[in-house]
Structures are given as structure tokens and as C-alpha cells.
């Protein structure tokens, strides 16, 4: 599975995992900078994304429900129509993030 740059399509990270969630979690464990990543429509529910750098990332319509995003950098991220229900956003940087139509129930 590959994580690509949202604008250039350049591969940011590649792994042998079969799901995007496993691939993203592995990238974060390896301290990979996921800024500008294209994660639109990704199912990342129940993932531990603590401290992740997702600045400028495309998370359009992503499932981030029940996800730990504490201390994550979501500066300028596109979270349009994303599901953030029951997500831990404590100390996350959401400055200039697009949260239009996002589900923030119990976030």
C-alpha cells in the first residue's frame, strides 16, 4: 500500500500492509512526515495517530471515528465531510483546517 502526495502523486511512504490504516500507523511509528498526504476516503477508524504530522493533508471524507489524534498537526488539512465522531482531538493543531460538513459528534 502506498501513501502519495496529494498534489504531485509522489510516493511518501510504501509498505507491505494491505490496508491504508495499517500503512498510516506504520508510517507514524517510523516518524514519517505525512504532510500533504492524500488520504481521502481512507478508513482510519480506531487508529492511533497521536503526534502525526498531517498538515496540509487531504482527508476528504475520511473515516477518523474513534481515532486518537491527540497532539496531531492538522494545520490546513482538508477534513471536509470527514467522520471525526468520538475522536480524541486534545492538543491537536486544527488551525485553518477545513472542517466543513465534518461529523464532530463527541469529538
**The pTM of the whole model exceeds 0.75:** yes
pLDDT of residue 107: 86
Q: Phi/psi zone of residue 86: left (φ > 0), alpha (ψ -120 to 50 degrees), beta?
A: left
Alpha helices in the chain (DSSP H): 20-29
Instruction: Enumerate residue ranges in the chain where pLDDT < 70.
Output: none
Residues 56-75 pLDDT 10s: 999 999 999 999 999 999 99
Amino acid at each position: 500500500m502506498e501513501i502519495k502526495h496529494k498534489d504531485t502523486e509522489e510516493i511518501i511512504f510504501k509498505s507491505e500492509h494491505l490496508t491504508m490504516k495499517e500503512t498510516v500507523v506504520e508510517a507514524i511509528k517510523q516518524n514519517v512526515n505525512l504532510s500533504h498526504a492524500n488520504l481521502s476516503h481512507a478508513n482510519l477508524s480506531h487508529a492511533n495517530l497521536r503526534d502525526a504530522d498531517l498538515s496540509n493533508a487531504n482527508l476528504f471524507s475520511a473515516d477518523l471515528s474513534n481515532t486518537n489524534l491527540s497532539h496531531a498537526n492538522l494545520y490546513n488539512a482538508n477534513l471536509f465531510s470527514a467522520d471525526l465522531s468520538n475522536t480524541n482531538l486534545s492538543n491537536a493543531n486544527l488551525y485553518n483546517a477545513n472542517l466543513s460538513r465534518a461529523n464532530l459528534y463527541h469529538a
